[in-house]
Amino acid sequence: MRTTVGIIGAGPAGLLLARLLHNAGIDSVVLESRDRAYVEHRQRAGILEQGTVDVLRAAGAGERMDREGLRHDGIELRYAKKRHRVDFPALTGGRSVMVYAQTEVCKDLIALQLKEGGPLLFEAEALAVEGADTGSPRVRFRHEGVEDVLECDYVVGCDGFWGVARKAVPAALSRTFERTYPFGWLGILADVPPSHDELVYAHHDRGFALLSMRTPTVSRLYLQVPEGTDAEAWRDEDIWAELERRFETADGWRLQRGPITQKSVTPMRSYVHEPMRHGRLFLAGDAAHIVPPTGAKGLNLAVGDVVTFARALTYEKETGSAELLDAYSATCLGRVWQAERFSYDMTTLLHRAPDATAFEDRLQLARLERLASSRAAETDLAEGYTGFPFG
Ligand code: RFL
Ligand code: PHB
């Protein structure tokens, strides 16, 4: 098999890249190790930045998002039983975010790709990327039990944190930056209308909690839990009781309970691999970097990377100049590190570390009070949350 761009992974990064390349008249093949149902139902991100929304629309993949997605103009910060709303459009000159689940973005992009795009192979596991630093890189893969080779002009590793693409960058040329956190998130999906019309980020002595949503009738909620927690060890009624404690306000706000349909625990990690390119192999999305979910940045960073790659390759096809491809890693990393900083700030602002000192507890409250009383501090949060421009 031969193609211009071999794409490993059909998460948001790989699927959107295939769409952007198709629109630019560049052919690609997508290899995905899991089956279609798995990719379409894996519960993950829920928040799209303004820039991501604009890109999906321009790519012709925004129709259902515009019908079913929920535009959000702010979030609520909750601490010391108080509530503070951050108004995004007022602070950022009109920017907002969209609640539209990653599962739905993937479903829309898969349907478009199968209808109009190039090959998208499910249950096709990439085994290795070879010849990344030659003029003709290859992906060795196994599909339906048979090993095959995909010959490419470029390979883009969109295969997530546990993928194989990153391993093709020689260790001697790689640098990694990492931080793990001594807590995770217990996430639930529940068949109950969200108890608030915007997301609520709650700071509490017992740990962080987040109220989010998928649709007007489905809530998504998270609790900070110790690292290594088993989701099944939490009984449903204990989850609701703990959420109630952490969201409690002085003004009598009520959390609505409902049947829990899914629960799982996510570890928290910050990770960056530099550079994001080796020869004709490019890394995009979680394959190159991870952020803790507190800033809602992971999917949006993945979108930023593939937009940057698609533009750079289109430029090369049109002008013969590899200038933008050569700048790919530096361009992406500038945005990646801003998102790392923002996600780290949000995480350390809102979570209670198991070894936190009384001094650090007071500092957290002071940071929250500062956000609630300074337009400058609030503007910084609103700009970070609604997103950094795609280069
Ligand atoms: P993905 O989605 O992990 O997709 C990688 C794909 O590659 C496949 N794959 C392979 N295919 C072929 N051969 C191989 N050898 C392969 N190895 C792996 C995998 O099966 C998979 O289909 O990476 P991508 O595309 O870079 O997308 C990244 C996002 O998924 C991720 O950053 C976000 O979900 C992070 N995230 C959030 N991001 C946001 O922007 N906003 C949010 O609100 C948000 N909330 C979250 C999140 C992530 C969470 N978890 C579970 C980590 C909430 C949670 C709980
Ligand atoms: C979600 O809805 O899954 C979600 C929302 C905001 C975050 C993280 C996750 O910061």
Q: Which CATH superfamily is domain 5-71+98-177+269-346 in?
A: FAD/NAD(P)-binding domain (3.50.50.60)
pTM for the whole structure: 0.96
Name the residue ranges covered by the structural domains of the chain. 5-71+98-177+269-346, 182-268+353-386
Residues annotated catalytic, as ranges: 72, 201, 293, 297, 385
Task: Report d(CA 156, CA 159) in Å as an integer.
Answer: 9
Q: What integer pLDDT is reported at residue 289 of this predicted model?
A: 98
Angle between helices 358-373 and 328-350 (to 10 degrees): 110
Instruction: Please say if the pLDDT value at position 3 is more than 80.
Output: yes
Q: What integer pLDDT is reported at residue 310 of this predicted model?
A: 98
Average pLDDT over residues 355-376: 97
Average pLDDT over residues 308-318: 98
Atom of ligand 2 nearest to the CA of 44: 3
- Going from the Cα of 351 to the center of ligand 2, the distance in angstroms, rounded, reads 15
Retrieve residue 155's tokens. Answer: 């390979």
Helix (H, G, I), strand (E, B) or coil at 334: helix
Where does residue 14 rank: exposed (0-12), middle (13-18), buried (19+ CB within 10 A)? buried
- Going from the Cα of 44 to the center of ligand 1, the distance in angstroms, rounded, reads 7
Instruction: Please say if the pLDDT value at position 391 is more than 80.
Output: no
What would the pLDDT profile of 94-133 be if each residue is shown by its tens digit? 999 999 999 999 999 999 999 999 999 999 999 999 999 9
Instruction: Please say if the pLDDT value at position 152 is more than 80.
Output: yes
Task: Report d(CA 85, CA 382) in Å as an integer.
Answer: 11
Helix (H, G, I), strand (E, B) or coil at 224: strand
- Could you please report the per-residue DSSP string of 12-80? HHHHHHHHHHHHTT--EEEE-SS-HHHHHH-----EEEHHHHHHHHHTT--HHHHHH-EEE-EEEEEET
What would the pLDDT profile of 241-266 be if each residue is shown by its tens digit? 999 999 999 999 999 999 999 999 99
Where does residue 191 rank: exposed (0-12), middle (13-18), buried (19+ CB within 10 A)? exposed
Q: Which CATH superfamily is domain 182-268+353-386 in?
A: D-Amino Acid Oxidase, subunit A, domain 2 (3.30.9.10)
Atom of ligand 2 nearest to the CA of 187: 3
Which residue's CA is the closest to the ligand 1 atom numbered 17?
A: 163
Beta strands across the sheet bearing 209-215: 82-87, 74-79, 199-202, 209-215, 218-226, 175-190, 260-274, 289-290
Could you tell me if 110 and 103 are in contact, meaning their C-beta atoms sit under 8 angstroms apart?
Answer: no
Instruction: Please say if the pLDDT value at position 72 is more than 80.
Output: yes
Where does residue 289 rank: exposed (0-12), middle (13-18), buried (19+ CB within 10 A)? buried
- Going from the Cα of 343 to the center of ligand 1, the distance in angstroms, rounded, reads 16
